[in-house]
Amino acid sequence: MRQPTRGYRAGIDAALLAAACDARAGERVLEAGCGVGGALLAAACRRPDARFVGLERDPAAVELARENIAANRLEDRVSVVQGEVEAGFRTLAVPPFDAAFSNPPFFDDPSALRGPSPARSGAWMADGGLTAWTGFLLKAVREGGSVTLIHRADRLADLLALLAAKAGSFRIRPVQPFADAPAKRVMVRAIKTGKAPLVLLPPLVLHPRDGAKHTVEVEAILRGQADLGWD
């Protein structure tokens, strides 16, 4: 996968988001803010019987994403369109998807982030805030469809409040750097019009304290040997 030499580069958040995608055969899946296709391509490789569309506003990232799709020979079921989340889902003029996932920009207040480089600001700063992103994702899926996000743990309350307007059946998985450290990320799955009780799942611990790079569970996920399940 080709990425910019400078600026935002896909990392472990994208890998975890892709591993959390459990699309079934024949389903259509949308990623909002797909960048150069890090999560999009990984999810497509994990789910070879589903179709994927990525939405990205940066023309340079769109071009790279299309090159990456071609390099992986996935043009028959993966595509990218250029567009703005803030413009709303209706501007895409396509039917709702079965599932949508996203790693929204982590900040919507310029004063909360210290000097991002211009190359990274678009990936880190959400012009319309979480309200625009959650609203877009909720419109993007059919009734009974799923919305999956990875975001800062300290925004969990905001995510739940925004998604609860049209979704429920929440399943939440904290992501902790170490077993004895607070979660810095949280993964949230919601079902549009879902009514089931909220479920708080066991945390995903990224690193052991014994010097290994990743825990056994995370290593298996990153190598494509396991999914990040919602059970």
- Write phi, then psi, for 220 (nearest 5 degrees): -65, -40
State the pLDDT at residue 121.
45
* Domains of the chain, start order: 12-166 (3.40.50.150)
* Weakest-pLDDT range from 48-57, 119-128, 138-147, 160-169: 119-128
Contact yes or no for 148/99 (Cβ under 8 A): yes
Write down how long the chain is.
Answer: 231
Q: How does residue 118 score in pLDDT terms, banded at 50, 70 and 90?
A: low
Q: What is the pLDDT of residue 124?
A: 41
pTM: 0.88
* pLDDT tens digits along 9-39: 778 999 999 999 999 999 999 999 999 999 9
Per residue in 157-169, pLDDT (tens digit) is: 999 999 999 999 9
Q: How far is CA 123 from CA 35, 56, 117, 146, in A?
A: 8, 10, 10, 23
Would you report the helix, strand and coil content of the chain in percent, each value rounded to 5? 35, 25, 40
Does residue 79 carry a pLDDT above 50? yes
Q: Is the pLDDT of residue 96 over 90?
A: yes
